[in-house]
Amino acid sequence: MESCVYVDHAATTPVHPTVARAMAPFLSDRFGNPSSLYRLGREAQAAVDRARDDVAAVLACRPGEVVFTSGGTESINMALKGVAFAQQLAGVGNRIVSTVVEHHAVLHTLEFLERFGFDIVRVGVDAQGRVDPDAVAAAVDAETVLVNVMLANNEVGAVQPIAEVAEALQRRAETIGRKPPLHADAVQAPGQLPLDVNALGVDLLSISAHKFRGPKGVGALFLRRGAPFLAQQSGGGQERARRAGTENPGGIVGMAVALEIADQQRDAHVRHVRSLRDHFFARVLDEIPGAVRNGPTDDRLANNANVGFAGVDGQLLLEALDAAGIAASSGSACTASSWEPSHVLLAMGADQDAAAGSLRCSFGLENSRDDVNLIVERLREIVPTLRQSHPLTPSVSAPAQ
């Protein structure tokens, strides 16, 4: 395999060697179904139970409040649909309050819920991509069944003031008589931000293992005891009847180990990737004319560097970087195959051309300052060339959304 400078850790991460070793037995001789009563099944169930305890310890919640899923998208779908439909059946109301900068797993789920009569209120953000907690609370009325605010943005790295949102909702409850459940998409947060659900003030929180050096295909949903919830998957009684389907012991064990490592090494990891991010920003903004920082200076994920290059087609930029052995992104990997300006950057006030020319580098533990210097040197060659040979015009900009 040819060498590659990989700076797209917001999209996915390599599995940690310790995680792979912990998973291996459950992919071979310890292959039992956790629902089976014989020894192989009991061993698998015991491993799942230990993993649940370990995940709960990082989230500072009860083990019974951890629901294992197939990943962040399922966790988010379960959270939003499960609470919304439970509240609708109870006659509470039909309003959901969210923000305009959420991941597509949230945006598309909310669009789905609109088809079932839910009124979706999408709160805007400032030029740094951050939401005003008081604006979120002001959008809440007596018929609001759920509030959703992501903890950290996957494109520009903006960290949202979730604890302040929770406090604002508590104050709002004094007026409307009740506090709606609060869900946070925390998929980008493990290994970079604390995940104590009580300090955050959330009732539901979603994570995905492959974002923090765990395996793909497994995630978790924190579901606070007593929160309204209607199971979205029917079948057996797994996960305390909240998520039917045979558990994935190997994946679950791998996620628990990865989450423990991410939490224990968080401070060192943050110091490392922040130094790379800051070095990247310093060089790019100083050495490439027309380069701008996208997103906040502070209150930002330590590994996230998003820059815009005026007059550059982002898709061609990524192709040129790939040809140079550099794997980066324009934003959310989930929409990379359909080229359109970032909805996050547009919501922050960027024009379409600026949004179409964005580049996201998200650094990881294996990256070095040499990697950053190489990327900058390649950008110094590629950006002027693209501006001259393929100037950005309205014909290559995607239509407004």
CATH number at residue 214: 3.40.640.10
Do 259 and 300 have their domain in common? no
Do 46 and 186 have their domain in common? yes
Do 209 and 287 have their domain in common? no
Cite the active site residues.
334
Do 260 and 271 have their domain in common? no
d(CA 160, CA 305): 17
Q: What is the pLDDT of residue 352?
A: 81
Task: Supply φ then ψ for residue 311, to 5 degrees.
Answer: 80, 15
| CA nearest to 160, candidates 201, 120, 121, 191 | 201
Longest dimension (CA), the chain: 69
219 found inside a domain: yes
- Is the Cβ–Cβ distance between 364 and 272 less than 8 Å? no
CB 240: neighbour CB atoms within 10 A?
11
CB 40: neighbour CB atoms within 10 A?
15
| Burial class (CB within 10 angstroms; exposed 0-12, middle 13-18, buried 19+) of 336 | middle
| CA nearest to 294, candidates 329, 262, 321, 326 | 329
Q: Can you give the pTM of this predicted structure? A: 0.94
Domain boundary among 244, 264, 284: 264
Q: What is the mean pLDDT of each run of 10 residues along the chain (401 residues)?
A: 86 98 96 93 96 98 98 98 98 98 98 98 97 98 98 98 98 96 98 98 98 98 98 92 94 98 98 98 96 95 96 93 96 55 92 86 98 98 93 46 28
Q: What is the pLDDT of residue 100?
A: 98
Provide the token pair at 55. 């995940």
Q: What is the pLDDT of residue 331?
A: 56
d(CA 111, CA 239): 27
- Domain of 368 in residue numbering reads as 266-396
- Is the Cβ–Cβ distance between 199 and 233 less than 8 Å? no
CA distances from 113 to 31, 73, 82, 206, 237 (A): 38, 15, 11, 18, 25
d(CA 352, CA 340): 9
Do 240 and 92 have their domain in common? yes
| CA nearest to 256, candidates 39, 41, 31, 16 | 16
Q: What is the pLDDT of residue 38?
A: 95
230 found inside a domain: yes
d(CA 164, CA 161): 5
For the chain, how many structural domains are there in total? 2
Q: What is the pLDDT of residue 2?
A: 64
Q: What is the pLDDT of residue 334?
A: 54
Identify the DSSP state of 14: P
- Is the Cβ–Cβ distance between 309 and 328 less than 8 Å? no
